[in-house]
Chains A and B, each alone.
Chain A
Amino acid sequence: MKKSVFLGALTIAGLAAGAGSAATLDDVTARGTLNCGVTTGLVGFAAPNANGEWQGFDVGVCRAVAAAVLGDPTAVEFVPTTGQTRFTALASGEIDMLARNTTWTFSRDVDLKFEFTGINYYDGQGFMVPRELGVSSAKDLDGATVCIQTGTTTELNLADFFRTNNMAYEPVPIETNAEAQQQYLAGACDVYTTDASGLAATRATFETPADHVILPEIVSKEPLGPLVRHGDNEWGDVVRWTLNALIAAEELGVTSANVEELAAGTNNPEINRMLGTEGELGAMLGLDADWAKRAIMAGGNYGELFETHIGENTPIGLARGLNAQWTEGGLLYAPPFR
């Protein structure tokens, strides 16, 4: 965290220069490819397959934006970024947008001068325990030994959670997720804690995943979303509304399978406005009328992306939970297309 604030300070210095060439949308159109920052590899969110094509939930957002802006979901140059390089890469203009499971925090938004264009995954810190311990709630963890990555916010969240619940714990400090996996399986700790999506992905790699349970309590808020540079609101709008279009499409029942058919015109004016058969929404963004249709066709609507890459039918097997539509008890709530 300290490191990212320091790098952020550098970032600000560069921003003055970066913001000078504001019209990212024009740059992207002229270049013909979208430079999209992703992780160097995170299960379910971004990873290259055997043919070298990037795939994943965050990658899906990049492809949707490329489809909306350039009409081609493959016109993306994926730039792998690490936790250290991601913010500078964005601030210096090396990438046009960052879709790299980055938590939306106050300091990143305000101090580092970035613009979070929405939230594509609501994550939070969770706990995983062996099933044989018979624990069903994190409140039963008094006196447990906990594997925890040092120097992360998860460490602080853990301390807070145990203190507010008047429980004691013994931390087992570890460095990386890989090490945590080994330690936890070897029985060096009773509990492993990190972001819930990470827990699910880790559990999926175990030989017998069913022997481990992820407890229902989530003890921190980690809203992850794509971000762009401060000061180029037109480009920010394009990314924001592309994501909103994916979310709204799920709510309105528009899928990659039926979008072609629905784009011919429907009785639902909001679908019509979004898909460009009514109104001028595309032109307002500086795009053509079909932008949202292409974004949805790229990888499907939000629900389809979720199911393909991290949903319950994948080895990672994440439930929708907070990431369900607001109509189904989740937090996804796209503003109206009007």
Chain B
Amino acid sequence: MSETHAETTRFVRTEMLAEQDPPITEKGVVKWTRENLFSGWLNVILTLLSLYVIYAVLSALLPWFANSVWTAESLEGCREALGEQGLTGHGGACFSVITERWNQLIFGFYPTELYWRPILAFVIFLLGIAPVLFQSMPRQALWASLTAPFLVYWLIWGGSLWGPIITAAGFGVGALAYVLVGKAAGNIVGTISAILLPILFWLFVTGPFVAALSGVLPLEITKVESNDIGGFMLALIIGISGIILSLPLGILLALGRQSHLFIINKVSVAFIEIIRGVPLIVWLFTASLLLNYFLPPGTNFDLMLRVIIMVTLFASAYIAEVVRGGLAALPKGQYEAADALGLDYAKSMRLIILPQALKISIPGIVNTFIGLFKDTTLVVFIGLLDPIGLSNAIRATTEWNGIYWELFIFIGLMFFIFCYSMSRYSIFLEKKLQREHR
């Protein structure tokens, strides 16, 4: 060992130094800002520009929101209230129009004393849909969910409870026919009778049955005409019915398109291509204008029902293509494995193919649903008073003539809430169903 070295060493540290904080420029906010916002002359310029834009937008918007008037009776009143604060008519928002017409924007012309009915219907809808959406709910609750559509219909439109009950019984007839006839005469006859018998039941038995039962025990609540339904209630009824009905129809169409049976295949292809190849607004015009001519005069075929049917058909064509994408993405081995297990078509689809295909298609399906929900605003062109239609009608009163932004902001916000929830649910579902980590 060298002596020299020992002599030159004057100081030997015997203990560790305490840890030091990193330099101020290398930590926390400063570091993040330097790295992300000011890491070069171009970024400095862009940051400053962005800051200026944000400032410009906020400095215009924030006072507008902060000074908004909530209690005036008319636009004139709003302007007066703003004038008292020394502001011009553009100095503050006039959200009084929302507070004054809130009920109308939500319920349309639904009778005020019956507002509890659509609200209760909405709660029942949420309760009914919960077991479908979340698997953690008890599975038995699904049976209760089946009754929800009939209850919701009854609560919204009113009339005798027997109507929905007997209509629901029609489905029971179908299920019974499928089981009994299927056992006795084979699968195909069973399926056909499961479709035919309920239709006959609805056509010929329902009317007299309902009349007879209502005679014995009325169970009646006030009837409300479709004409009186408007605003977000209308958008929700059309949107939700379209969503719920179009999913099964779309899946059937997608399977039909994959089918090797000539007629089923060609009919599905023709249906999908024709419906998808024409703009929704044209179908809505067809529903509102052309159908009137094809139906015998005097037939009162509810316009809202016609719109729901058209929206459902339109969405189902899109869903069909989305699901077909999912089916196509499955490796061929899955189909072969299902066959190798000896499963018949229905079982292989239900147990093996569809669960995987639908999982793949979730983002596309939800995308279609969000589009469908927003497309309900197109009904304004056929004279239905959805939120946009009502905003025009509200603007046509002398009190609120000349008001634009406040209404549109409110409507936009409401739509955003619904669409964003759907999008979050889609993400939740995708995460839950993720199997790649296994």
Bound state CA distance, A43 and B79, in angstroms? 19
Q: In the complex, are the beta carbons of B293 and A92 less than 8 A apart? A: yes
Chain A: which residue is nearest B381 at the CB level?
A: A82
A-side contacts of B385, CB under 8 Å: 40, 80
* Contact flag A47-B397 (CB < 8 Å), given A77-B227, A205-B75: yes
Does A118 make an interface contact (CB < 8 A)? no
Q: How many residues of B contact A (CB 8 A)?
A: 40
Kindly list chain B residues whose C-beta atoms are within 8 Å of the C-beta of A78.
227
A residues 199-218 near B (Cβ < 8 Å) are 201, 204-207
Residues of B92-106 contacting chain A, CB below 8 A: 100-101, 104
Cβ contact within 8 Å between B401 and A14: no
A81 contact set on B, CB distance < 8 A: 383
Q: Which residue of A lies closest to B382 (CB)?
A: A85
Most buried by B among A17, A20, A52, A314: A52
Q: How far is the CA of A201 from the CA of B399 in the complex (A)?
A: 11
A40 touches B393 (CB 8 A): yes
* Cβ proximity bits B381-408 to A, threshold 8 Å, 1 near / 0 not: 1111100010011111110011010000
Residue B279 lies at the interface, judged by CB distance under 8 Å to chain A: no
Q: Do B398 and A80 touch across chains, with their CB atoms under 8 A apart?
A: no
A268 at the interface (CB under 8 A from B): no
A43 to B88 CA separation, bound complex (whole angstroms): 24
Interface residues in A5-49 by Cβ distance below 8 A to B read 7, 10, 13-14, 17-18, 20-21, 39-44, 46-49
Shortest B100–chain A CB gap in Å is: 6
Query: Chain A nearest CB: distance from B400 CB in Å?
Result: 9
Contact A50 B398 (CB under 8 A): no
Neighbouring A residues of B290 by C-beta, 8 Å: 10
Q: Give the nearest-CB partner of B299 in chain A.
A: A93
In the complex, are the beta carbons of A46 and B396 less than 8 A apart?
yes
Q: Smallest Cβ distance from B92 to chain A, in angstroms?
A: 13
B76 beta carbon closer than 8 Å to chain A: yes
0/1 per residue, A56-77, Cβ < 8 Å to B?
0000000000000000000001
Q: Looking at chain B's contact residues, is the secondary structure mostly helix, strand, loop, or mixed?
A: helix
If A50-B100, A52-B109 touch, whether A7 touches B383 (CB-CB below 8 Å) is: no
Pairwise interchain contact A315-B395, C-beta atoms closer than 8 A: no
Interface centre among A10, A50, A88 (most CB of B within 10 A): A50
CB nearest neighbor in B for A206: B402
Distance of A145 Cα from B298 Cα, bound (Å): 51
B383 touches A40 (CB 8 A): yes
Report the contact-size class of chain A (Cβ under 8 Å from the partner): 35 or more
Check: B170 CB closer than 8 A to any chain A CB.
Answer: no
Asked if B75 and A80 make an inter-chain contact with CB atoms under 8 angstroms apart, the answer reads no
How far is it, in angstroms, between the C-alpha of A201 and the C-alpha of B395 when the chains are bound? 11
- Report the bound CA distance from A315 to B75 in whole Å: 12
- B96 CB to closest chain A CB (Å) equals 11
B391 to A, closest residue via Cβ: A41
Residues B389 and A94 in contact, CB atoms below 8 Å apart: no
A157 at the interface (CB under 8 A from B): no
Given contacts A20-B297, A79-B383, contact A85 B401 (CB under 8 A): no
Beyond A43-B401, A46-B396, A79-B227, is A17–B293 a contact (Cβ under 8 Å)? yes
B-chain residues with CB within 8 Å of residue A18 when the two chains form the complex:
297
Interface residues of B in 366-423 (CB under 8 A from A): 380-385, 389, 392-398, 401-402, 404
* Complex CA distance for A40 and B389, rounded to whole angstroms: 7
Let me know if A77 and B225 touch, CB within 8 A: yes
Contact A84:B381 (CB < 8 A) given known A18-B297, A48-B109: yes
Q: Are A80 and B396 in contact (CB under 8 A)?
A: no
Question: Within 8 Å of chain B (Cβ to Cβ): is A110?
Answer: no
B328 at interface by CB-CB < 8 Å: no
Task: Determine if B89 is an interface residue (Cβ-Cβ < 8 Å).
Answer: yes
Q: Decide yes or no whether A316 CB sits under 8 A from chain B.
A: yes
For A201, what are the chain B residues with a Cβ–Cβ distance below 8 Å?
Answer: 401
In the complex, what distance in Å separates the CA atom of A206 from the CA atom of B297?
A: 46
**How far is B79's CA from A134's CA once the two chains are assembled, in angstroms?**
27
Please judge, given known A-B contacts A82-B383, A85-B382, whether A40 and B108 are in contact too, CB under 8 Å: no
List B contacts of A181 (CB < 8 A).
Answer: 402
- How far apart are the CA atoms of A50 and B97 in the complex, in Å? 10
Residues 193 to 238 of chain B near chain A (Cβ within 8 Å):
225, 227-228
Among A7, A40, A79, A85, contact of B392 (Cβ-Cβ < 8 Å):
A40
Contact in complex: B398, A314 (CB < 8 Å): yes
Q: A47-B396, A47-B397, A52-B108 are in contact. Are A88 and B100 (CB under 8 A)?
A: no
Chain A residues contacting B109 (CB-CB under 8 Å) are 48, 52
Cβ of A1 within 8 Å of any chain B Cβ, yes or no, is no
CA of A181 to CA of B285 in the docked complex: distance in angstroms?
29
Residue of B nearest to A47 (CB): B396
Distance in Å: Cβ of B438 to nearest Cβ of chain A: 55
B383, A85: Cβ atoms closer than 8 Å: yes
Contact with A along B60-87 (1 / 0, CB 8 A): 0000000000000001100100000000
* Centre residue among B88, B288, B292, B384 by max chain A CB count within 10 A: B292
Residue A264 at the B interface, CB < 8 A?
Answer: no
| Cβ-neighbour of A85 out of B88, B288, B404 (below 8 A) | B288
CB neighbours of B89 from chain A (8 A): 207
Q: Smallest CB–CB gap between A162 and chain B, Å?
A: 29
Q: Is the CB of B298 within 8 A of A316?
A: no
User: What are 15 A-B interface contacts by the 8 Å CB criterion?
Assistant: A7-B289, A14-B293, A39-B396, A40-B389, A41-B393, A41-B396, A42-B396, A52-B109, A80-B389, A81-B383, A82-B381, A94-B292, A178-B404, A201-B401, A205-B401
Apart from A84-B285, A178-B404, list 19 A-B contacts with CB within 8 A: A20-B297, A39-B396, A40-B385, A47-B393, A47-B396, A47-B397, A48-B104, A48-B393, A80-B383, A80-B384, A82-B382, A82-B383, A85-B288, A85-B382, A89-B383, A178-B395, A207-B79, A314-B398, A315-B401
